[in-house]
Amino acid sequence: MIHSPLESAILFHIGIVPISRTVVTTWGLMAVLTLASWTVTRNFRVDAGGWQAMIESVVVGIEEQIAALLNRDAAPFLPLLGTLFIFLAAANLCGIVPGVKAPTASVETPAALAAIVFLSVHFYGLRIQGLGGYLKGYLKPNPIMLPFNILSELTRTFSLAMRLFGNIMSGDLMGAIVLAIAGLLVPIPFMAFGILVGLVQAYIFSILATVFIGGGIGAIKK
Amino acid sequence: MTIQMLSIIGAVVAVAVGSISPALAEGRAVVAAMEGIARQPESADSLSRTLFVGLAMIETMAIYCLLVALMLLFANPFAR
């Protein structure tokens, strides 16, 4: 019997709060990403060296994607969406490291990230359009569509979380099953496919978050 | 037939039947995008971005089937 992918292992307790393996992995990832960003960005120069050029091309690439989708300046959205993409790419790929389970392969992490996207849609919508303009967006294209617009806010958040969770978790599960059937060298193509799926899912999650925020600020027609 | 056997059959049917139509739909979407890119290579950027988002939407259906299968196998409320 394989371990259920729907529940995560509890490592230890702080007071009455159980700390699961997912949370510890996420803390580790946050520490690594923060430390790496701080170390790399500490001594930036005008004439970019190798590392700096790589980081700059990543940031500029994300910025251009956001600007192309939203048809406006990407600067207010870059901190959230860029962090989301980099964290997701790191989280999806860290399942490759032996002994580490990808945090996105358990349902809590994608649910929390989708909740962040859900709240930020309203935050940016209210900040950029104002209360009246933002609420008017729910009456488009027709006031009859109001219940469906509200329903779609909830269902798309749910499907955003479930899409990421399902893809990453199914990759992990397939790897485990193949490992149990044929151990030597056979899981390698599945792991290679897992790298591709992890990067594509990080991209899709960020693009969908951008599209939802674009709908919230009225830059993209729903 | 016990509840366990029924759950396993249900999980198999959910994944097997539920992945047919998303597979066909994704194939159609990719074909359309390929034709579009072949006709207008300069629109490849926006086409592939839209294609990715659309594929993710279609794929969600198959993922839901997988989740139903997993719930039948691991979190079945009737098999306690």
pLDDT, tens digit, 9 for 90 and up, residues A142-164: 888 888 888 988 988 998 999 99
Give whichever of A138-147, A160-169, A212-221 has the largest mean pLDDT. A160-169
**Residue A170 CB neighbour total at 10 angstroms:** 20
Q: Residue A42 carries which side chain, given as an amino acid letter?
A: R
Identify the residue among A107, A207, A213, A222 best suited for mutation to test binding to B, counting B beta carbons within 10 A and taking the highest: A207
Quote the CA–CA distance of A29 and A102 in Å, as a whole number: 10
Cβ contacts of A69 on chain B, cutoff 8 Å:
49
* Nearest CA distance, A165 vs chain B (angstrom): 9
Give me chain A's average pLDDT, please. 86
| B30 near A CB under 8 A | no
Contact A30, A109 (CB under 8 A): no
Yes or no, beta carbons of A203 and B52 under 8 Å apart:
yes
Question: For the residues of A17-56, what is the DSSP string, one character each?
Answer: EEEEHHHHHHHHHHHHHHHHHHHHHTT--SS--HHHHHHH
| A56 pLDDT more than 70 | yes
Q: Which of A2, A66, A157, A159 would best serve as a mutation to test chain B binding (most B beta carbons within 10 A)?
A: A159
B67:A170 CB<8 A = no
Complex prediction ipTM: 0.78
Neighbour count for residue A198 (Cβ, 10 Å): 26
Which pLDDT belongs to residue A221? 58
Look at A68 and B45 and tell me if their CB atoms are within 8 Å.
yes
pLDDT at A1: 47
What is the model's pTM?
Answer: 0.85
Interchain contact, B52 vs A200, CB within 8 Å: yes
More confident residue, A7 or A88: A88
Is A163 close to B59, i.e. CB distance below 8 A? Answer: yes
